[in-house]
Amino acid sequence: MGQTIIEKLVSAKLGSPAAAGDVVWLPQDVVTARDFGGANVVKNFLAAYGADAAVFNADGIRFTFDCNAPANTAGYATNQQICRDFARRRGITVHDVDAGIGSHLLIEQGLAIPGITAIGTDSHYNILGAVGALGQGMGDVDVAYAFHTGQVWFEVPATVRVNVSGKLAPNASAKDLTLAIVHHFGSGGLLGRAVEFYGDVVETLDLPGRITLASMATEMSAVIAIIPPGASVLDWLGGRTNSPVETITADPDAKYVDEVTLDLGVIEPMIAEPYSPASVRPVRIVAEEGVRIDTGFIGSCTNGRFEDFNEGYAQLEDGGVAAGVTLKLVPATREVYGQILSEGLIEGFFQAGALIHNQGCGGCAAGQVGMTGEGEVQVSTSNRNFRGKQGAGRTYLASPATVAASVRAGRITVPEAKR
Amino acid sequence: MSRMRITGSAFPLVDASGALLDNIDTDMIFHNRWLHITELSEMAQHALGNLEGYEDFAARVKPGSWVVAGRNFGAGSSRQQAVDCFKALGCVGVIAISVAPIYLRNAINAAMPAAQIPDLAGAVEPGDVLALDMEAGTLTNERTNTVLQAEPPISSVQVEIYRAGGLLRME
């Protein structure tokens, strides 16, 4: 019988056929823990297996300190040190507070390639679906178990096949497409499912655009959204690893739980209003209502690549951030920071009035960048705008272009076409 | 081994109209400002501290309660604390119309019973005694004497991990 991508991927890992609904013990190529959850992983591991217990494979484990980097509370600093101590004793690599977002590091370093399995204490680890890998965010009990055994239990999800048709307006980008899709399915609309995305508008996305779309699978409660890598993504990945890089494709007779055709027409800039990533309307409509803003944020695992900053930059080239408004920038990784620097964007952003922070997760979790106060209005490129998540204010989610155009105007604004 | 039947008293999380709340996310359950906490005993007081109307949940809930909610319970982050905080309060487990995948895993791994009951809406009042049969995948409301089915069914691995007392106690 034909298999979906996730069924093929899991079958290849197990060396025996697996189908949706099967519960399997799935070997992991990479197991990671962040500063968020990492100390709990260590604590669980030591309590369950003893102070001298070995990990399954030190090379397959990473710590990534991206949530609170550098630590701005003594609690986080202590937790990071607990992880460092544990790692040093066992020869595990630590990507410290200067490295950036763990999931992005796995992609940059060629560890995340099609067909691999990875888990981490990061609910957006399914972002690895952007490169055809099976990434899963898991809690600290799962990760502690995987540190010891190299595997996790996994119920192979049923797959929804989604064909997206439509065309990005000249002032729209992957985030607008993503928000339109989240709006269509709703917060729990793909609960417990794997998703395969097809269609020209998806297949022509570059890797950063695919990362944006894959990252928000979590916001639809999907297990993972896989965007089968095309030639350009495979080329890029091939430059980062010595392992063979080959896309896993679904069989023509694969069995899907649902097949959805989504015709989005001309996709215009979209924005998610507080307090749900699925409360999406066109920026055009929201802009007409006159929403004054206090601050903007460009960054996060969803929109923290060089291309995202470049997209925002284009909106600021002939005008800066409005008086009384701030713009905070957080590159996803050190590599991205380096690109922004070498391409000359930092000078321009500085002149435009932006604040440029060190790489990491920025305002998500309890980060130090992008918290809002009671009554404060933020437009952010991140992926969640739950009440209270980024402080007491109101957060709107939008593309880098919309964020930049809005901080320039001081209110939510439709970006200009720059492509 | 005898059937695993877990009994507790319902503590429904509802809106002003009495309907079960949907999309209760992990920041409402255990806010990110407390994520540095690693001690179970310290987690208890923060349970549902960011859910409007339930900020005082930790003081109100009695040990032996089921947390009862609507759709997509536990959406959002992978934080284990969102499960542990309920355990720390002596809650029996979570019964919801549906549960977000990562949250469900975390509950299973921590041996905290969790079940998804599609027909839950309107079937539970505060204080109702609910019995979850882990193997049969049924929830019995002992006040109304109705039996509701878990869907998807409670998986064999969930039962196995529950029986072991948690993933980290598995051989």
What's the whole-number mean pLDDT along residues A256-262?
A: 98
A419, pLDDT greater than 80: no
pLDDT of residue B1: 42
Give the tokens for residue A117. 């399995």
Write down the mean pLDDT value for chain A: 96
Cα Rg of chain B (Å, integer): 15
Give the CATH number of domain A271-409; options: 3.30.499.10, 3.30.70.270, 3.90.180.10, 3.40.50.300: 3.30.499.10
Q: Assess if residue B118 is contained within a domain.
A: yes
User: Per this entry, what is the length of chain A?
Assistant: 419
Kindly determine whether residue A40 and residue B167, on different chains, have CB atoms separated by under 8 Å.
Answer: no
Band of pLDDT at residue A363, cut at 50, 70 and 90? confident
Please list every residue in chain B whose beta carbon sits closer than 8 Å to the beta carbon of residue A86.
Answer: none
Q: Assess if residue B171 is contained within a domain.
A: no
What does DSSP say about strands B129-133 and B114-116: parallel, antiparallel, or unpaired?
unpaired
Q: What share of chain B is helix, strand, coil (3-state, %, to 5)?
A: 25, 25, 50
d(C-alpha A146, C-alpha A34), whole Å: 14
Please list every residue in chain A whose beta carbon sits closer than 8 Å to the beta carbon of residue B52.
Answer: 387
- Please give the residue that has the higher pLDDT: either A306 or B152: A306
d(C-alpha A89, C-alpha A54), whole Å: 10
Kindly determine whether residue B157 and residue A23, on different chains, have CB atoms separated by under 8 Å.
Answer: yes
pLDDT of residue B2: 47
Number of structural domains, chain B? 1
Distance from A287 to chain B by nearest Cα, in Å?
27
CATH class, domain A5-155, is alpha beta
Residue of B37, B71, B102 lying closest to A139 (CB–CB):
B102
Distance from A305 to chain B by nearest Cα, in Å?
22
d(C-alpha A378, C-alpha A390), whole Å: 9
Instruction: Supply the range of the domain harboring residue B22.
Output: 5-165
What's the whole-number mean pLDDT along residues B67-72?
A: 97
With CA atoms as reference, the chain A residue closest to B75 would be A221
Q: CB contact, 8 Å: A218 with chain B?
A: yes
Kindly determine whether residue B50 and residue A387, on different chains, have CB atoms separated by under 8 Å.
Answer: yes
Please list every residue in chain B whose beta carbon sits closer than 8 Å to the beta carbon of residue A301.
Answer: none
Give the tokens for residue B118. 């599609």
Task: Give domain limits for chain A.
Answer: 5-155, 159-267, 271-409
Kindly determine whether residue B36 and residue A73, on different chains, have CB atoms separated by under 8 Å.
Answer: yes
Distance from B53 to chain A by nearest Cα, in Å?
13
With CA atoms as reference, the chain B residue closest to A35 would be B36
What's the whole-number mean pLDDT along residues A326-340?
A: 98
With CA atoms as reference, the chain A residue closest to B25 would be A386
d(C-alpha A197, C-alpha A180), whole Å: 14
**pLDDT tens digit string along A195-209?**
999 999 999 999 999
Residue of B37, B76, B105 lying closest to A142 (CB–CB):
B105
Q: Assess if residue B106 is contained within a domain.
A: yes
The yes-or-no answer to whether A5-155 and A271-409 have a common fold is yes
Decide if B137 contacts B159 (C-beta within 8 A): no
Decide if A155 contacts A21 (C-beta within 8 A): yes
Half-sphere exposure of B120 (CA within 13 A, CB side): 33
With CA atoms as reference, the chain B residue closest to A217 would be B76
Size of interface A-B (CB pairs under 8 A): 117
Distance from B166 to chain A by nearest Cα, in Å?
9
Mutate to test the interface with A, among B78, B85, B104, B169 (most CBs of A within 10 A): B78
With CA atoms as reference, the chain A residue closest to B82 would be A139
B24, pLDDT greater than 50: yes
The CATH number covering residue B133 comes to 3.20.19.10
3-class secondary structure for chain A? CECCHHHHHHHHHHCCCCCCCCEEEEECCEEEEEHHHHHHHHHHHHHHHCCCCCCCCHHHEEEECCCCCCCCCHHHHHHHHHHHHHHHHHCCEEECCCCECHHHHHHHCCCCCCCCEEEECCCCHHHHHHHCCEEEECCHHHHHHHHHHCEEEEECCCEEEEEEEEEECCCCCHHHHHHHHHHHHCCCCCCCCEEEEECHHHHCCCHHHHHHHHHCCHHHCCCEEECCCCHHHHHHHHCCCCCCCCCCCCCCCECCCEEEEEEEEEECCEEECCCCCCCEEEHHHHHHCCCECCEEEEECCCCCCHHHHHHHHHHHCCCCCCCCCEEEEECCEHHHHHHHHHCCHHHHHHHHCCEECCCCCCCCCCCCCCCECCCCEEEECCCCCCCCCCECCEEEECCHHHHHHHHHHCECCCCCCCC
Q: Assess if residue B170 is contained within a domain.
A: no
- Please give the residue that has the higher pLDDT: either B30 or A419: B30
Distance from B143 to chain A by nearest Cα, in Å?
31
Model-level ipTM above the cut of 0.90: no
Please list every residue in chain B whose beta carbon sits closer than 8 Å to the beta carbon of residue A48.
Answer: 168-169
Task: Give the contacts of B165 (CB within 8 A, at least 6 positions apart).
Answer: B111
Residue of B32, B102, B152 lying closest to A365 (CB–CB):
B32
A61-64 β-sheet, strand order: A93-95, A61-64, A30-34, A117-120, A134-137
Band of pLDDT at residue A267, cut at 50, 70 and 90? very high
With CA atoms as reference, the chain B residue closest to A146 would be B168
Kindly determine whether residue A139 and residue B170, on different chains, have CB atoms separated by under 8 Å.
Answer: no
**pLDDT tens digit string along A51-84?**
999 999 999 999 999 999 999 889 899 999 999 9
Mutate to test the interface with A, among B167, B169, B170, B171 (most CBs of A within 10 A): B167
Phi, psi of A358 (to 5 degrees): -75, 160
B171, pLDDT greater than 90: no
With CA atoms as reference, the chain A residue closest to B79 would be A139
Residues of B with CB under 8 A from a CB of A: 22-23, 25, 27-28, 31-33, 35-38, 50, 52, 71-72, 75-81, 83, 98, 100-102, 105-106, 109-110, 152, 155-157, 161, 166-170
Distance from B86 to chain A by nearest Cα, in Å?
15
What's the whole-number mean pLDDT along residues A228-251?
A: 97
Band of pLDDT at residue B77, cut at 50, 70 and 90? confident
A159-168 β-sheet, strand order: A224-226, A194-198, A159-168, A258-267
CA dihedral A331→A335→A340→A344, nearest 10 degrees, is 160
Distance from B151 to chain A by nearest Cα, in Å?
12
Give the CATH number of domain A159-267; options: 1.10.10.10, 3.40.1060.10, 3.40.50.300, 3.40.190.10: 3.40.1060.10
What's the whole-number mean pLDDT along residues B156-161?
A: 92
B36, pLDDT greater than 90: no
Q: CB contact, 8 Å: A144 with chain B?
A: yes
d(C-alpha A219, C-alpha A124), whole Å: 9
d(C-alpha A93, C-alpha A71), whole Å: 19
Distance from A319 to chain B by nearest Cα, in Å?
36
Give the tokens for residue A388. 């209270």
Write down the mean pLDDT value for chain B: 94
What's the whole-number mean pLDDT along residues B15-32?
A: 94
